[in-house]
Structure 1
């Protein structure tokens, strides 16, 4: 039964269907605070909020309507230009005509705002309507901001978390200087069209960044990380995730932030990389843990790392070398490692995942929790590390209810499963075209 159906059944029990009896039976009435908790949880379908369900909740009764509307306004997405932004503003204006207090509550209910913006002032108007905004997701298509818009942004709500995807560097630097209260920042520059990265002459705001995530596959663009951490953030940063091939450990030590870091994501770890000064490190993720003729030995990894995350290491022999390195670290650190996450893609039914089996067997023997995060289990919508404080290792990640669990002694990827209809079509097309592969997404509905 879906949460929407359950809510309607709950309402049917609470109220008498007879038109003469409008007062619900007290024995079947739940406290309104408990109903609000139920509604807040019932909006999710396997980690994803279903706005259609929330709209249905607003139609159940007066007691549900106001709170369900607040849930609708909790997360707002405006990616269709100024017309959609005007519609959002007009909706709050219309609500203000009917009930000023309720309209104010709706604007104050916005916690997450996702929006594509350019140089126009209407986007600053949107921020002014959301005084309790907590997390801001932005897509920047334009080349620069107007000065009057930047002044408006400087008086925006004190947003604590921000995700930015930009196509030019200049508006990124202009925008960030206007948000001095940021604690969690994720920047995606993988689509930037500029050939070179020119840092601004002025330093970043005096923000207290706790977590910084930076994505760019172009070399020599990690200078953004140096700029973002060139001020007060050096003493506050605890989590750093850098997806850039030219960024390495020497960059961290030269910035003087090593003693504070508790979690790091790096492209690779070379033999010369010295991590002994990272005394507070509890998590280490390597996007490319092994390259030809090289596998990290972890001999400079500080004692106390509890979570190690590795992407595909390749062959079973490489996996065995990785097992030996992890085993040596466990003996040196007093078995501090508690969780090993392995990211492994498998598109072929003939792939036996021998490398995953080697790591899994090692973890099973040493009492380490093993997590296989990529196919054949797959990624599911909603499984993403949130931009918020954490105090556990590994960081808490919401997991789909469809994700299979690894039981002791079981190798679920060895169990032959019938391919889906889409996969069978892809395989047939590959055979028909001489072994080429048609991406699954090409067969999806538009």
Structure 2
């Protein structure tokens, strides 16, 4: 791997030189192991510790197939799906790998007794398989995490509807928290040239998810002037939703859980911020009973911040804890757009506030290639910025995942793979200087 890293860091390298580099037999990767899938049995979710389940293993380099690319990973990042994988919730991911492995001889490679995780990367293409024409060895890239087969007609209007749609590094193997990764070539996008390796690896999954959920016509279809309630507005997903709202002429109402997170939202440009911990909102009386009085108090507070208006869009991702309130506070004819469910998948709400007020609930999941490309293009143009707060080396990925699991992070937590230190990979220093304060907004908070 040292020879590969040396070549990548050589400024005048050529595609041919990268293509002729010998590949190692193995590489280091962060894994969970199939024989440990029951290691947390009987523990509550918050008691499960990713530091115990995530391993840095030496694994064989996978066979390269048609339409695929092998990428040297310079940096990656931790997402909630990395946490879910590490604590084997809601199910162990090995079932995903087994089902994928039954499709074809090529996909059988993914069904292994270990799972290389990670759904983000920035790096350099090392090899491309037969049929790949748009990408070449030496190209500096980031990857989005949509893996599709597209053998069914269902996915050809919106690839997220492909029956064989999967999230790379979560429902497939050979993910990005490793020194090398195997991706389909249609996952690749140009690396933003004003960002470092770790900065460019941070937005991928969450930036694309927020774009589809909030901006795309497949999601909420946000327009200028909309009031948008954003839960967890300084977090990995919400921090991009906040930026999209501001960049698109909408008015974000940012909900956070501490003064520090509130200040981050204000630094992004938001003026309407609710610190739910400081204001004492508790939407459940007990484990089984919600408190509509708190919904009403919350709605009143929102109207105080919007000049008397209810929100047009609710950007939902906490799930069970907040969903009843989300349905209540949306304006008549408004939209609650939901992905994930970090506080629980079983949502409860009073349907009277939905049906009688003509509101919509829209499900949103990651993004198709076009949406991911547009979201990355906005990063490359400096319209949307990374929200990277902290970076760990590859061997401390368990601690990085633990931070995210315990909500001890702001924005995104990055991981260095092959990159020997932070700050490398910038190609356009002039553009970077224009945006450097925004790029570093979340650092070391």
If the length of structure 2 is used for normalisation, what is the TM-score? 0.24
Structure 1 or 2: larger strand share? 2
Q: Rg: which structure is higher?
A: 1
Q: Which structure is richer in relative contact order (CA contacts within 8 A, separation 6 or more)? A: 2
Instruction: Name the TM-score, length of structure 1 as normaliser.
Output: 0.24
